[in-house]
Structure 1
Amino acid sequence: MRLSTILLLFFTFNFPAFAQKSLFNGKDLKGWHIDVPAMDKKPDTINPFIVRNGLLVSLGTPGGHLITDKIYKNYQLTIQYRFAGKPGNCGVLVHASTPRALYGMFPKSLEVQMQHKDAGDFWCIEEDITVPDMLTRRGPKENWGVNGDKLRRIKNLTDGSEKPLGAWNTMIIECLNNDVKVWVNGTLVNYGTNCTTSSGQIALQAEGSEVEFKQLDLKPIKELSK
C-alpha cells in the first residue's frame, strides 16, 4: 500500500473531529450559557435568548451575550441570520474570554459586526487586530485603542453586501491562527492579521434589535504545515 494511501486512511479514521458540526440543535440552548448583567440584581429578568420555531433568537434586550461553553481555535463559522423586525445592531464575538471586560458588559474578544449596513466591521474589545489601509479604516493612529472611547472600530471593505431586510444573510468567519477573515453573502468584507489572540469562546449579542439565527455551523480547520 502506498504511503499516501496510508496517510489518507489515517486522517480519515483518526480525525473525525474535523467534520462540520452545528452549534445550535434547533431545540434548546445546550452548549451555551448566558451572561446578562441585568439578571444579577433581578434574576427574573427576561432571558433575551430563546428558541422559537426552530430558530435561535436574540430579542435584543436586555443587553447581554450568549456564549459557547467550549473554547475554539482554527475554524470556519457559517451563520445564517436576519433582522426579524426593524434593522439594528447585533454581532458575533470570536476569541471571547474574560467576561464583562468592557463597560461591565462585553467580554474580551474581537467582534464581527452584524449591524445593518455595517456587517463585517471589526470592533476591538480588549483585543486588537491589524488590517490593510488601517489609517483610512480606523482613523488617526494616536487614537487607536481597545477600550473606552478609543478608536476600536475597523470599517469593512465593502458596502451593499447585505440582502434586503427580511432576507437571510450568510456570514462566514474564518479564524486561523492569528488571522480572521469575514465573508457576507459570498463577498470578502474584512481580513485581519496579527490578532492578539487566536482562541476563545464564541458569543452572540443581544444589543437592541431582534435577530433570528437558523444556522450556526462550525468546521474546524487543521493546519498541516507552517
Structure 2
Amino acid sequence: MKRKSILPLLLIVFLIAQGSYAQEPKMKTIFNGKNLKGWTVEPEDNIWWSVEDGNITVENDPTKTGSTLWTKKEYGDFVFQMDFLMGTGTVDSGIFLRSEKDQIQIGISGSLKRDMTASPYIPGKSYPVEAKGVKEVLDREDWNTMKVKLVDQTYTVWINGQEVMTYTSENMPDKGPIGLQLHPNNEMSIAFKNIQVGKL
C-alpha cells in the first residue's frame, strides 16, 4: 500500500506559522531613556514632561494646563507597547491613536469618576465600550504594561498580557502620530518607560 505524502501537510503548517509570525512586527524602541528626542510637546513651551532615571515623567503645573507628548513620526497600522506607573493625585491620562479623536484611557475618567483604564474615549461619544477584566490585572502601585494593536480602524488593548478590549472606530485618519496625554484641570503625575512601536 502506497503511503500518502506528508509534504502537503507540512507545507500547510509552514504557511500557517509564517502567517502568524507576520502578525508580530519587529518592535522598535522610540524612547531613548535620556531625553525627548523624536517627540514633540504640545503646547510647545514644555514645563510638564521630563526624563528621570530612564523614565518619561509628567506632572501638572499649578495652572493645571493639559499637554500632549506626540511622536514626530506618523504611523498607519502598528503595535504600540509601553510600561506605565501611576503616580500622585487622580491619574487621568491616555494614549492618542493617530489623532486626538481616538484615545485609550489610563486612570480615572474625569466624566465618570471611576477607573476606565484600557477603554476607548471618543470625543462626543464618551466611552462607547468598556474594557473587561482590567481590575483583576491592573496594579495601581507598580508598573503595568499596555499593548495596543491598531489595524485599519480597529484597535485591541492588552494589560499585562491579558486582552481586555477591542473597538472599531469611525473616520480615523489612515496615518498619524501617537500621543501620551496629561489631562488638564487635574493634579496628577504618571511615568512611562520601555516605549516601543512595530509597524504592521
Which residue, out of 142, 147, 151, partners 1:172? 147
Measured against aligned partners, the alpha-carbon deviations of 1:120-170 in whole angstroms (never above 9, x if no partner) come to 111113xxxxxxxxxxxxxxxxxxxx3xxxx32222233414433221111
1:44-193 alignment, distance < 5 Å: 47-61=47-61, 62-96=65-99, 108-116=100-108, 117-125=115-123, 146=124, 151-154=125-128, 155-193=130-168
Q: Which amino acid aligns with 1:33?
A: T
1:79 Cα shift? 1.2
1:179 Cα shift? 1.1
2:40 & 2:164 partners in 1: Cα distance?
Answer: 29
1:199 Cα shift? 2.4
- Residue aligned with 1:50, SS: strand
1:19 Cα shift? 2.7
1:111 Cα shift? 0.4
Aligned to 1:199: 175
Measured against aligned partners, the alpha-carbon deviations of 1:36-90 in whole angstroms (never above 9, x if no partner) come to 2xx6xxx5xx611110111011113431101111110111111100112234211
2:76 & 2:30 partners in 1: Cα distance?
Answer: 14
CA contact (8 A) 1:77 1:174 kept: yes
Aligned to 1:19: 26
Aligned to 2:38: 31
- Residue aligned with 1:200, SS: coil
- Give 1 or 2 for the bigger CA radius of gyration: 2
Q: Which amino acid aligns with 1:185?
A: N
CA contact (8 A) 1:58 1:205 kept: no
1:203 Cα shift? 0.5
Greater alpha carbon shift after TM alignment, 156-165 vs 171-180: 156-165
Aligned to 1:130: none
CA contact (8 A) 2:96 2:179 kept: yes
Distance 1:55 1:159, change over 3 A: closer
TM-score, normalization by structure 2: 0.74
Aligned to 2:189: 210
Measured against aligned partners, the alpha-carbon deviations of 1:91-121 in whole angstroms (never above 9, x if no partner) come to 111111xxxxxxxxxxx32000001431111
1:112 & 1:178 partners in 2: Cα distance?
Answer: 14
Distance 1:195 1:216, change over 3 A: farther
- State how many pairs are aligned: 165
1:171 & 1:81 partners in 2: Cα distance?
Answer: 8
Q: For structure 2, which runs of at least 5 residues remain unmatched after alignment?
A: 1-10, 12-24, 109-114
TM-score, normalization by structure 1: 0.66
Q: For structure 1, which runs of at least 5 residues remain unmatched after alignment?
A: 5-17, 97-107, 126-145, 222-226
Q: Give the superposed CA RMSD.
A: 2.3
Distance 1:203 1:161, change over 3 A: farther
Q: Which amino acid aligns with 2:197?
A: L
CA contact (8 A) 2:83 2:146 kept: yes
- Residue aligned with 2:176, SS: strand
